[in-house]
């Protein structure tokens, strides 16, 4: 799909002519709006034409599929980033609890045991 788009130098009408690479810079909301315009254009071609205009339909279908794929990828990446952040926060919390427990263990040691630990260092 992306290979074909690059070969035919596919352009999208968003803030001027955008290449497929430029679409990655758009927000999900902007891509969704572009998707809506493309679907409307596709529906108008289906209803308004008595001729079979395969080339236009194929290009519109390609554009729609590319926008859908980019949105799905961006949403997946956002979810993965969110999950990674949640895991990182959980790990930090666990490490903090471990540090607290180790501190408590040290506090429970006698003065002699603490001096022994210092001398071992």
pLDDT digits (tens, 9 = 90+) for 32-41: 999 999 999 8
DSSP 8-state class, residue 50: S
CA distance 100 to 83: 26
Q: What is the per-residue burial (b if ≥16 Cβ within 10 Å, else e) of 46-80?
A: eeeeeeeeeeeeeebebbbebbeebbeebeeeeee
pTM of full prediction above 0.75: no
Mean pLDDT of 96-113: 92
Does the structure show a pLDDT above 70 at 99?
yes
Does the structure show a pLDDT above 90 at 47?
no
Mean pLDDT of 16-43: 92
pLDDT of residue 2: 78
Does the structure show a pLDDT above 90 at 3?
no
């Amino acid at each position: 799909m992306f290979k074909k788009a690059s070969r035919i130098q596919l352009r999208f009408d968003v803030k001027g002519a955008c290449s497929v690479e430029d679409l990655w810079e758009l927000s999900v909301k902007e891509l969704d709006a572009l998707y809506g315009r493309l679907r409307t254009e596709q529906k108008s071609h289906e209803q308004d034409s008595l001729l079979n205009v395969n080339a236009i339909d194929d290009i519109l279908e390609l554009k729609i599929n590319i926008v859908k794929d980019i949105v799905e990828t961006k949403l997946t990446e956002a979810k993965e980033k969110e999950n990674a952040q949640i895991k990182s926060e959980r790990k930090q919390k666990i490490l903090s609890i471990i540090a607290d427990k180790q501190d408590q263990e040290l506090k429970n040691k006698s003065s002699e045991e603490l001096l022994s630990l210092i001398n071992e260092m």
